[in-house]
Amino acid sequence: MGEMKVIAKGYEENPDLMPTQLKDRKYNTKTIILMFFSMNTCIPMFFLGPIGKSLGLSLTQVLVGAAMGNALTALVMWLNGVIGTRYGVSYPVQLRESFGFKGTAVPLFMRGLVGLMWFGIEAFVGSLALLMIFLVIIGTPKADVLPLATRYLPIALVFYIASLIYVMRHGLPGIGVMANWAGPLLLIYFIWLVIWLAINPEFSANTSKLFVSTAGYLSIGFFTYLAVQVNWWATVALNISDISRGIKPNNKTALPVGIFIGLIIGQIIGTALGYVAITLTGIVLPQEIILKFSPGIIAAIIGLSFAFIAPWSTDIVANVPAVTSLLMSLSSKFSFKKAVTATGIIAFFVAPWWAFDKAQGIVNYTTQWASNYGILLGPIAGIMIADYWIVKKQHYNLQRLYTYGVDGPWYAKGWNKAAYVSLILTWIIGYLIAWATHQIAYVVSIPVPGGIIWVPAVIIALLLYMMFDKKYQEQH
């Protein structure tokens, strides 16, 4: 498509939210594949194995769960990402058509909140690896490294966030370069380490436990695990346009191929590695496995370096953009660089360094969080998909997205009634489904629809939005 001249009408737009120009769209298929590998290949991904094992699942079952869960999320991700590829718009701007110019506040806050929580988790595990590297280099006994690193983690967290802010302030080109190599290196290293453990007589006897299970495919354990896999990338399924807007013009294969290879295949491999690693060693934290079982100090330092770089790059590509988008949409005074700095400062306090004194704590924290936020994001995805693919018949007017007032996506005083009625009703129905199927979970003492609720939430919201869009036709 040719370049369309777009200007902000009736308001002052943040320059970083204007459409990406064709000359600035430099991502190709290879870049997107590697970018997804980098987002995917991080320390929390290796938690997926221990999570499955703790739920009584075998290796076969966790791989089936990984394939099913990520296939569902990938479909939604592609459906939402097409808009960024076609129009060069970011998530906050994309939301205007489905939720209304002012109505973007709620979905932006929800995605930003989830992204911030993930940012905190990634920052925790990345900073832990960074401090472990320092302790190993200065000759700290292996038995003391992890306890000391956990105790003094806030110090490393400052360096982690400061380095991330520095790179992020260089913009999209720097993000693409980082994404080309961070995750794949960690994945290759961990494949090598797991193979080394599997052929080591000390651990090889445990391979017989890989296919032992105490839960079936119709058990609560399997469905909880499926929810974790689905929710893992339900975050980026919403703001995928923040990435796809950088894809080269007319490259229609980059997004679907990148998602399939980088996300689905990458998630399956990471899940398998994490499961095999905990089965062989009995240890849940990848950094601890690297520290204790790498053959030599050099191998340990290299592995821990990758364990730092991988979550760092995941934050750069997946988590920080969601929060910066929220901040930039709140005020035009928040440039991309200022928003990145503010996000880093907030993340220091969100990273749960204050909550754990043992490694198992972060794994449990991640499990509880990842299995129970689907109700926040699922309805938003359903509404966005319905608006573009069904209601607007795969056509948005780019200038309309940047027009404040009745000539833009104004609906009812800037709010799309169809979207919000659909959102609220989906929440109510979600609670009823979760209650009937015993999937009510408690997050900070608040009862929420947990488990695999993301999938029905997407579908219910999509159907409701189609229905209520017809009811509220007068607002168009």
Q: pLDDT (tens digit, 9 = 90+) per residue, 297-322?
A: 898 898 888 888 878 877 877 778 77
What pLDDT is recorded for position 185? 77
Question: How many residues does this entry show for the chain?
Answer: 476
CB 403 within 8 A of CB 9: yes
CATH fold of 15-373, please? Answer: Hydantoin permease (1.10.4160)
Q: Which amino acid is at 382?
A: G
Whole-number Å distance between alpha carbons of 127 and 65: 30
Whole-number Å distance between alpha carbons of 348 and 123: 8
Looking at the DSSP assignment, which residues form a beta bridge with residue 443?
446
Whole-structure pTM value: 0.87
**Residue 70 structure tokens:** 């990520």
Question: At 110, phi and psi to the nearest 5?
Answer: -65, -45
What pLDDT is recorded for position 5? 85
Whole-number Å distance between alpha carbons of 280 and 209: 9
Whole-number Å distance between alpha carbons of 34 and 182: 9
What pLDDT is recorded for position 178? 54
What pLDDT is recorded for position 19? 95
Question: At 25, phi and psi to the nearest 5?
Answer: -90, 100
Collect the ranges in the chain with pLDDT lower than 70.
Answer: 1-4, 170-183, 354-360, 444, 474-476
Element (H, E) at 347: helix 336-350
Whole-number Å distance between alpha carbons of 132 and 336: 32
What pLDDT is recorded for position 415? 96
Name which of 379, 375, 369 is nearest 453 in CA terms: 375
| Residue in the block written with tokens 């209601």 | 391
